[in-house]
Amino acid sequence: MSDDLLGNATFSAIVGGLAGGVTSWIIAIRSERSGRRYAKYNAIEVIIDDLQCMSTKYWKKAGPDTVLEGDIKISLERLDLKIQSLLRLFRRSSIETEINRYMDELTDEITGGDFESATRRKDSVRVMRIAKICGGIRDYLHSKI
């Protein structure tokens, strides 16, 4: 009888230890995944800030600016790549659909109109819409992390 109690106690201790270990492992994985999400979000936020600054500078003056146009295009590509990298961690199509809508809206707003035109005019309304879209992307991603 004492062997049964000792065996059951040993078995219970082993099971309890394994359960604690598995729980700790799951918590560590979730924490690591959350840390990766925040790191990717922070990288996205930096690109959005740069893109908003460049777009504001671009649309607040008239005439061609091929250097800034190229920088804006590169930043849009970088932003898209970083967002796609972050979306791989979510695995939810609803988030991807919403972010792709924001990205399409941002790209259309920044590169729309007379972008790259020699006769481009400044457009302060466009600057405000770009700021609003950038803020929307930041807020949406931050709420999902």
In a domain, 21, yes or no: no
In a domain, 12, yes or no: no
In a domain, 8, yes or no: no
- Give the CATH number for residue 74: 1.20.120
> Please, which pLDDT band fits residue 3 given cuts at 50, 70 and 90?
low
* Structural domain count, the chain: 1
Q: How would you write the chain as a 3-class SS string?
A: CHHHHHHHHHHHHHHHHHHHHHHHHHHHHHHHHHHHHHHHHHHHHHHHHHHHHHHHHHHCCCCCCHHHHHHHHHHHHHHHHHHHHHHHHHCCHHHHHHHHHHHHHHHHHHHCCCCCCCCCCCCHHHHHHHHHHHHHHHHHHHHHC
In a domain, 71, yes or no: yes
Average pLDDT over residues 73-81: 95
**Number of C-beta neighbours around residue 85 at 10 A:** 13
The per-residue pLDDT for range 32-59, each reduced to its tens digit, is 556 778 888 899 999 999 999 999 999 9
Contacts of 81 (CB under 8 A, 6+ apart): none
pLDDT of residue 115: 87
For the chain, the average pLDDT equals 83
pLDDT of residue 91: 73
State the residue range of the domain holding 50: 36-144
Average pLDDT over residues 74-83: 94
In a domain, 24, yes or no: no
In a domain, 3, yes or no: no
Share of the chain above pLDDT 70, in %: 77
pTM, 2 dp? 0.74
- The structure tokens 């991807």 sit at 96
Share of the chain above pLDDT 90, in %: 50
